[in-house]
Structure 1
């Protein structure tokens, strides 16, 4: 009897062995994927000498918490972080409202030239971002917005955002027509139907577009750099990293601490919103 049980156990182990191997391989790949962030977190708690002497070691000899205070106060990241939050939140709101309206019209209404509009939007995906910086800066200068956070917000929110518009359009196209018909019977107009019925139903897509816009705006470098050339107080966290690079030396521990500070909000946001992000992408693709 024991021999039979042992044989069954061996067969079970052989049958499950490929899954264990797959799990080990995936864990190894996950570690390689997150290793740069783990190393940066470790480097933010080391001294400069320890960073260069320790190589890829992850355990600091002594915890250098003053790196964070130096990044926060001396590196002025308390101001840069506030600027980034203001610019990112305002940009996300503008982009979500604008793309939701455009996607609703393109997804629910048939009008002459609708396919042409979609074609033009898709064509803008192939235009390099660098080509648009000069006209954006020129227009902002003419409007007197070049040295203001409001100008930076409008510049970042004024892009085509083609992917976001198409995600909304695909989602709205899949909703039942009876929803709008019932709203019209109740006397609702275009804006009321959109704001009271369609937009609340698109919350998974809104979460997806919000996360994508948040990531893009938070990590934006070229436009914030141009808008903060003459006023360093307008720098965002991505541009503020330059504060740790001197003519003759670089404060690597301070830069690592600043990098952890700038990445922490993104990690927390995605940790709380990843379910909505996946649902929004899946819903748009299904539609």
Structure 2
């Protein structure tokens, strides 16, 4: 009987934990925060709502009122944007450039961060200083040298040239995050791998890189946002090659051909915005965790 009583007590469901009641000062701070942040959020979100609603309207409806809703949905704006404005081709170009630039950029930045974080060599502080200076270098100053380099390599007329240009710039923040994360990992891992006959690349790829998942996620997300939204470099590299345009450049080019067709331009903008919004919504948890994990590391 005592055993049955004990088993019954152990199997009985535990009551759910009681939620802590907020203090008066905390409730006041929460209310004030909502009243301050809600208008800011509405102002920030309204342009996206306007663009999406305009993509479903005619020109007269777009400028006729500020009401974001309409009784008639003009889905033909998307059809014309996909076919006439060639957004389908630009979307495929952007996917290719973004995907390949992520592979190249993350690999190079991770290797550079690994060397800076795990090894001591002459000139290391100089490299850190140069990386810090790169942060303050405007992108406009590097466009012409990058264009000359891509042209010298014979890649100015291909998507690989745009991809290399997007992936070629060192992301200082990502490199420093990798360096800081690799520096705090135990040295015994490297010694054990060396005793097993592993070389430099094998130790990096099979031992240290899998442990750096938080920083790896940060690097992938940042490079995705950069390559997908970049405008200046693809504009310069595709001036003579309209078929190689990315989404950002393709939407900009509509101002010359379809300047008065705001419905189609809004539809094209929505096509360009939706993928990155979806990716951010899906990965926002990992985005926050990657930054917090990188900082803790």
Paired residues of 1:145 and 1:151 also in contact (CA < 8 A): yes
Structure 2 length normalisation: TM-score? 0.87
Alignment match, 1:20:
31
Alignment match, 1:83:
93
Secondary structure, aligned partner of 2:64:
helix
CA–CA separation in structure 1 for the residues paired with 2:25 and 2:284: 35
Alignment match, 2:150:
140
CA–CA separation in structure 2 for the residues paired with 1:215 and 1:67: 26
Alignment match, 2:159:
149
1:111 and 2:92 aligned: no
Alignment match, 1:166:
176
Secondary structure, aligned partner of 1:202:
helix
Paired residues of 2:54 and 2:62 also in contact (CA < 8 A): yes
| Shift, 1:186, TM fit | 2.4
CA–CA separation in structure 1 for the residues paired with 2:170 and 2:60: 46
CA–CA separation in structure 1 for the residues paired with 2:255 and 2:187: 57
> CA 1:105/1:249 → structure 2, altered by over 3 Å: closer, same or farther?
closer
Moved over 4 A (4+): 11-15
Unaligned runs of 5+ in 2: 1-21
| Shift, 1:248, TM fit | 8.2
| Shift, 1:15, TM fit | 7.2
1:193 and 2:203 aligned: yes
Paired residues of 1:224 and 1:236 also in contact (CA < 8 A): yes
Alignment match, 2:262:
252
Unaligned runs of 5+ in 1: 1-10
Q: How does 1:230-269 map to 2 (within 5 A)?
A: 230-246=240-256, 249-269=259-279
1:50 and 2:80 aligned: no
CA–CA separation in structure 1 for the residues paired with 2:267 and 2:258: 20
> CA 1:187/1:221 → structure 2, altered by over 3 Å: closer, same or farther?
same
Secondary structure, aligned partner of 1:146:
coil
Alignment match, 1:102:
112
Structure 1 length normalisation: TM-score? 0.90
Deviations 1:71-120 (A, max 9, x none): 11111000000000000000010000000000011011111111111111
Paired residues of 1:205 and 1:279 also in contact (CA < 8 A): no
Instruction: Say which of 12, 28, 41 aligns to 1:30.
Output: 41
Deviates further, 159-168 or 233-242: 159-168
Paired residues of 1:225 and 1:239 also in contact (CA < 8 A): yes
Paired residues of 1:44 and 1:67 also in contact (CA < 8 A): yes
Deviates further, 140-149 or 273-282: 273-282
CA–CA separation in structure 1 for the residues paired with 2:121 and 2:33: 51
Alignment match, 1:7:
none
Paired residues of 1:100 and 1:165 also in contact (CA < 8 A): yes
Paired residues of 2:214 and 2:294 also in contact (CA < 8 A): no
Secondary structure, aligned partner of 1:245:
helix
Alignment match, 1:3:
none
Paired residues of 1:84 and 1:218 also in contact (CA < 8 A): yes
Deviates further, 182-191 or 221-230: 182-191
Deviations 1:202-248 (A, max 9, x none): 12211111111111111111111122111111000000013421378
